[in-house]
Amino acid sequence: MIKLIFLFLVSYLLGSIPFALLVALPQGVDPRKEGSKNPGATNVARLLGKKWGIITFIGDSSKGIFALLLAFFLFKNLPYPKELVLAGAGFFAVLGHLFSIFLKFKGGKGVATTIGIFLILTPKAMLLSLAIFFFAVLLSGYVSVGSLLATALLPLNIFIFGYPSEYIICSSILAILIWIKHKDNIKRLLRGEEKTWKKIKNV
Residue (of 179, 198, 31, 50) closest to 109 by Cα position: 179
Q: Quote the pLDDT of residue 75.
A: 86
Binned at pLDDT 50, 70 and 90, residue 203 comes out as low
**Tens of pLDDT along 80-106?**
558 999 999 999 999 999 999 999 999
Give tens-digit pLDDT for 23-37.
999 999 999 999 888
- Kindly report the backbone phi and psi dihedral angles of residue 106, in degrees, each rounded to the nearest multiple of 5, phi listed first: -110, 170
Percent of the chain predicted with pLDDT > 90: 81
Look at 196 and 181; give whichever has higher pLDDT: 181
pTM: 0.91
In the prediction, which pLDDT does 136 show?
Answer: 94
- DSSP codes joined into one string, 102-171: GGTTB---SHHHHHHHHHHH-HHHHHHHHHHHHHHHHHHS-HHHHHHHHHHHHHHHHHHTT--HHHHHHH
Q: What is the largest CA-CA distance in the chain?
A: 53
Residue 52's pLDDT is 94
Q: Is residue 20 scored above 60 in pLDDT?
A: yes
